[in-house]
Each structure stands twice: as C-alpha cells, then as structure tokens.
Amino acid sequence: MKYGYARVSSKAQDYQAQVEALKAAGCERIYSEKQSGKSRSARPEFAKLMKALLPGDTVVVTKLDRLARSSRGTNWMASPAAS
C-alpha cells in the first residue's frame, strides 16, 4: 500500500498543499497532523502510520524534513528495528 504523511510544525500552518501533492502521487491513505517534529512520541498520526506499515508498503512525503528532523531520525525509521 502507498501511504502519505503530511506534517506542519504549528497550528497556524496549513498542510493542505502537502495533502494534495500526496494525493497526486497516488497515496491510498494519508496521515496528517499539526505537530512539532522534535519528538516522535508527540506525533500520534505518525505513530499510527508506523503501526499500519507492512513489508512492501511505501511511505511518501513531500519533503524529508516532514518525516524527520535529521538524517539520524530518518535512519532510525528505515531500520528494521524500528518496525
């Protein structure tokens, strides 16, 4: 399955442009939230996305910084131990 993840850092920001881009990319399910990327535990929609993933699924983001704040965070998510 192809999942999308949209995130903005504050309540004043809007993630609608990200959602539209994810729809255009063919995402079947999109998780979106208005949360800081500082803490994975404070991102409930991200946690739901991670739990939904099965082997072979794809996660699409409009920019890598929507997924993680650093390459270390991205590596953590891509490792088999993260699942």
| Catalytic residue numbers, as ranges | 9
| Pick from 44, 50, 41: nearest CA to 7 | 44
E strands, the chain, in order: 2-8, 29-34, 58-60
